[in-house]
Each structure stands twice: as C-alpha cells, then as structure tokens.
Homo-oligomer: A and B are copies of this chain.
Amino acid sequence: MDLLIINPNTTVSMTKKIDEAAKKVASLNTKITAVNPSDGPVSIEGYFDEVFAVPGMIGEMQKHPNADAYIIACFDDTGLDAARCVSNAPVIGIGEAAFHIASLVAGTFTVVTTLSRSIPAIKHNLGKYGLLTRCAGIRASEVPVLDLEKNGSDAYQKISDEIGRALLDDRAEAIVLGCAGMADLAASLSAKHHIPVIDGVSAAVKLSEAIVQLGIGTSKWGGYRRPVAKEFKGIFAPFSPK
C-alpha cells in the first residue's frame, strides 16, 4: 500500500520528523512517502498561512496520483475538503484522525496546541466534524511551531504543564497533541501522565491503512464530487480541472 503524506509547509526537517513518526507505526507492507511543497510558508500558524500552503499541497497530490491514500500532516486539516475532491482514494487529516481515535478510547479529550491564534480554527473543525461535544478544552502551550524543531527548547515542559491543567481543570480523559511537530512527544507524555496521548500523524497512518484495507474510498456525492472542468488562469493554469 502506498501512503502519501503531505506536510503542507515547506520545512524539510519537519517533513523528515513526520516521515519517521509515520514509518514507526506503519505496517510492513505499507510504503510511506512524505513530501512537502516547494512553494509556501515554512510553518502554518493560523488562517493566513493556510491559504499559501494549500495550492502546493494539492500540487503534490497531482504529482502522485496513484497513492492508495493521502494524509494531510497539518493539525488544522488545511485544504482537506479540496483534497478530497481530487481523490477517489481516502484523504485523512491528522487533526480529524486524532479526534476520532481519541473518541474511541475516552469520553472526552483536551487538545494541546501551539499558539492561541490556532484555537478558533481547531474549534471550527471540531464543530464541523461533530466532535465539539467530545472536546473538554483547547489549550495553547504558546510554543511556536518551529521551536518544536529546536534542540534545548522548553517545549516539552510547557506542553506537559498544559496536560496537567487539562486533567485537573477540564476533567480531560485523553489528550490530543495539536501539531504535527509534536509527533515524537506522545509516548513520553502518555507515560508521564498515565493518560492516552494521541499524535495525529501516527493516528492518520493507521486510519488510512484501515480504510484502504476496507476497500472504501472518498464519497463522490455531495461536496466531494470531482471538480467541474474549467479554465484556471495565470499561475494556477496547471491546476485546472479537466
């Protein structure tokens, strides 16, 4: 099985970390390919950055049209709906993957993310998915995304502190880590706090494998129909749907 994981930002070190996290949990006969676009922001922190990450992300899908499933490795599930339009195969966002897995092992979960500016986007996604009532809280550690890539940062401690508060103040029953860049922290945080801690990258890998093996693809009814054939002008001409 071929899984294409797209890190929608342009930071190669993060793509590499995502690739490693994915390979750690992938089944033997799953081939993981992690890519990132060459055009776009170096990290995605809020609505503005998303706009300039998604065209390149779609471009990566178009370059790899034969994957068995696609994973969008940004916790905001940026561009997920559009990506589903161009694929018969399943397309899974790491945010939704983490929310669904958490909902299968706990009554409620708290999200611990990077910057507080990302909270509204996460809340909107949860509302759209239907899982807002399962969410006990969304907490910002105020760790910028790229600090997660630096040695010696206090990111781990700040995230761990928010988990402590989630247990006490939110009565959280599970924790969802709110950034692809936290993929390597889940196991240690889970052991420390004695609570399921879910990383979206690994969750999305296992869910993608599961859905592919079930023989189920993205519905082509409703909003995920194939794009209408039409002209795209200028720099976006190459993306025109036919």
Contacts and interface: CB of A to CB of B under 8 A. Distances in A.
Contact of A106 (B52, B202, B222): B222
A96 interface: yes
A182 to B, nearest CB: 15
A160 interface: no
Contact of A216 (B105, B225, B231): B105
A27 interface: yes
A33 interface: no
Nearest to A126: B130
Contacts of A54: 51
A196 to B, nearest CB: 5
Contacts of A221: 106, 167, 171-174, 195
A115 B37 CA distance: 31
Contact of A223 (B121, B222, B233, B241): B121
Interface in A42-75: 42-43, 45-52, 54-56, 58
23 contacts: A27-B27, A27-B213, A40-B236, A42-B231, A42-B232, A46-B227, A46-B228, A49-B227, A52-B55, A81-B120, A100-B104, A101-B211, A101-B214, A101-B216, A103-B130, A107-B223, A108-B222, A117-B223, A120-B223, A172-B221, A173-B222, A196-B216, A207-B210
Interface of A: 10, 25, 27, 37-43, 45-52, 54-56, 58, 79, 81-82, 84-86, 90, 92, 96-97, 100-101, 103-108, 115-121, 124, 127-134, 144, 167, 171-174, 187, 194-196, 198, 202-203, 206-207, 209-211, 213-225, 227-228, 230-236, 239-241
